Amino acid sequence: MKEYCGVVGIHGHKDAARLAYLALYALQHRGEESAGIVSYDYKKVHLHKGMGLVGNIFNEDTLKKLKGPIAIGHVRYSTTGSSVTKNVQPLLINHKKGIIAIAHNGNLTNSVELSNELEDSGSILQTTMDSELIVHYLVKDHKNNYREKIVPMFSKLEGAYSFVLMINDAIYAMRDPMGFRPLCMGKIDSAYVVASETCAFDMIGATYIRDIEPGEVVIIDRNGLTSLKAPPNTNLIPRHAFCIFEYIYFSRPDSNIFTKSVYMARKNLGRALAKEHPVSADFVMPIPDSGNYAALGYAEGSGLPLEMAYVRNHYIGRTFIQPSQLIRDFKVRVKLNPIRDVLKGKKIIIVEDSIVRGTTSRSRVKALREAGVSEIHMRVSCPPLISPCFYGIDFPTKKELIAANRSIEEIRQFIGVDSLKYLSLDGMLSSMMLAKEEFCTACFTGNYPTKICRTPSKKALESKLCKGM
């Protein structure tokens, strides 16, 4: 799938960078390619970032150098822009007007158009990240008051964005008007914290205050907190488009996103799946870890026992967000190991959160057959994925989506299961604890909530292509 990233901002705490570091640990599932932290001590800005996991990039020595009561951090899996060092965030710019650093989660759907416009006006882009475009627009005119500049950005940017900016001694947290990506706010002691998910607050002992609203900019400085809203005359679509995949797969189950529990949403999906697609079997088992809670819901809904018959190697990262198919295939083989004594001769139901390319599911089914399972019935806790996502999940072309090119029966045969059933669109939406109209479901329907510049890959800014698919 396409990228997801995680962002965090801390303002007003003497250990801001350390707190950001711990928060990034909690958000590691949102991106394993790179991580970085920028801090500011009111005199000097400090930066440390690199390719790899949070625990490999930072140590005691690097954290000691990240001084100051203000810090922003980022974990990345590349959406727009290749997985290279120059694209690691936070992006830091030292400008005559001061310091600007940005950490961005999401994907601007008009990035090519914005890039062309900036270059035509004389801007020189240093990276291939859409995040850099935001910085250029902030500094391109002669106004020094960033508060006046930030709100007009809503009418300039299209697509999904939740980002945290450090501008001199203030933090700006901004969420797109449709609210694709989560962004929440909390406090620890007298310091404010913003983060992609509430699990980051739990990690550092912060208290959740509220979500940053779609179309809102929250400014945190030494004077406290200010909230600015997109004006009503910006011609923005007056509805939300929360990414439903945050609930299905991406967010941690111990987070509340869009104000609701991820854990409960996944259990609800499993119960709905059991109601729609029952089947006779000895037990239900999940594909760990993302399928655990939907499987629990399916077991409760079906009355069948739940078995944890796959053991996960927790030293292996998330397979779907690895950029290379070769790496994905290897990690599938070493990530999960079946318990043969539990599985041999059994009829089982395995619950998947989703099927993207089908190759991972096929490998898992093969391992289960080798363990002696007599029947395998696969149940998927969302509808078939048939359309690319342009808002931050890594499936940018239809050819990567098995359900866009094969029937359910053909997918069943490819994967090698005895039966395959998906949760219906209505069943999925009815399982959520928010109104159906609040969600983006474009990956299941092809109905996009915004205008789309259909770029062929995450390297859109490298290729400068913007064509129909």
Query: Range with the lowest mean pLDDT among 13-22, 129-138, 278-287?
Result: 129-138
**Helix locations, 401-459, DSSP H:** 402-405, 408-415, 425-431, 442-445
Predicted local confidence at residue 396, as pLDDT: 60
What are the angstrom distances between the C-alpha of 354 and each of 170, 248, 290, 362, 397?
A: 40, 8, 9, 13, 17
SS3 44: coil
80 with 153, same domain: the answer is yes
Cα(375)–Cα(416) distance, rounded to whole angstroms? 10
Cα(224)–Cα(357) distance, rounded to whole angstroms? 47
User: Is the pLDDT reported for residue 456 higher than 50?
Assistant: no
Provide the CATH number for the domain around residue 283.
3.40.50.2020
Kindly report, residue by residue over 397-416, the tens digit of the pLDDT. 888 899 999 999 999 999 99
* 252 within some domain: no
Kindly report, residue by residue over 232-247, the tens digit of the pLDDT. 655 555 589 999 999 9
- Domain total for the chain? 2
Query: Range with the lowest mean pLDDT among 61-75, 120-134, 201-215, 421-435?
Result: 120-134
* 388 within some domain: yes
17 with 97, same domain: the answer is yes
* 113 within some domain: yes
What confidence category does residue 452 fall into, taking pLDDT thresholds of 50, 70 and 90? confident
What confidence category does residue 325 fall into, taking pLDDT thresholds of 50, 70 and 90? low
Cα(270)–Cα(300) distance, rounded to whole angstroms? 8
More confident residue, 208 or 234: 208
More confident residue, 155 or 327: 155
Provide the CATH number for the domain around residue 11.
3.60.20.10
Predicted local confidence at residue 98, as pLDDT: 86
309 with 398, same domain: the answer is yes
Catalytic residues: 5
Mean pLDDT of the chain: 88
User: Is the pLDDT reported for residue 457 higher than 60?
Assistant: no
User: Is the pLDDT reported for residue 80 higher than 90?
Assistant: no
Predicted local confidence at residue 78, as pLDDT: 55
Predicted local confidence at residue 130, as pLDDT: 85
Q: Could you give phi then psi for residue 409, rounded to 5 degrees?
A: -65, -40
The answer to whether residues 466 and 459 touch, using CB atoms and an 8 Å cutoff, is no
Q: Could you give phi then psi for residue 270, rounded to 5 degrees?
A: -65, -40
- Sign, CA dihedral 177-178-181-182, equals positive
127 with 233, same domain: the answer is yes
What global pTM score does this model have?
Answer: 0.89
The answer to whether residues 440 and 214 touch, using CB atoms and an 8 Å cutoff, is no
More confident residue, 390 or 232: 390
The mean per-residue pLDDT over the stretch 282-303 comes to 95
Q: Could you give phi then psi for residue 152, rounded to 5 degrees?
A: -60, -15
By CB atoms closer than 10 A (0-12, 13-18, 19+), residue 216 is buried
DSSP code string of 52-120: S-HHHH--HHHHHHS-SSEEEEEEE--SSS-SSGGG-SSEEEEETTEEEEEEEEEEETTHHHHHHHHHH
Query: Range with the lowest mean pLDDT among 120-124, 282-286, 304-308?
Result: 120-124
Owning domain of residue 369: 261-433
232 with 361, same domain: the answer is no
